[in-house]
Structure 1
Amino acid sequence: MTSGLGGRFLEGYPVAVVQSVSRDGANYFATVKAKPLASLERLRYVLLLWPSTLDISKVKSMSPEEVRELVQNG
């Protein structure tokens, strides 16, 4: 479920079901495997997010055309 902490998504929106959690002494973090609730095989695009110190409330949205131009031209 989403936490709502980033201010981007409402709290409590279900996104996946946790399948397993494993820990070992070599890692500080647990490994979590989760099954997405969305039918990913039916989606055209997927956005993957990683933790960041970036304030997402100040991030400018980009149109698909702007993204394409940025990727093609650097």
Structure 2
Amino acid sequence: MAILLWLVPAALATCAAMVLAGWLGRERTTSQRQADRAQQRFARAMDRPMPAGSRVASPRVRSTGIAVRAARRPLR
């Protein structure tokens, strides 16, 4: 029975991690005023024009992982 005492620290650490995860993952209460301010901030940011230097990058051709050599003769 004494040999199982090494499980106690691991069990305590697991319980502490579960309590911490539950505490950090809880639903936070926000007032309607804070939510309205956040929504207005988001709307202003979305209405702001994009800088000229920021362009959407063209998608790259993804490699399939298979090496394909160019044909030496044109195919008919």
Q: Does the TM-score normalized on the shorter chain lie above 0.5?
A: no
Q: Which has the larger radius of gyration?
A: 2
Of structures 1 and 2, the one scoring higher in RCO (CA 8 A, sep 6+) is 1
TM-score calculated relative to the size of structure 2? 0.22
Q: Which has the higher helix share?
A: 2
Q: Which has the higher strand share?
A: 1
TM-score calculated relative to the size of structure 1? 0.22
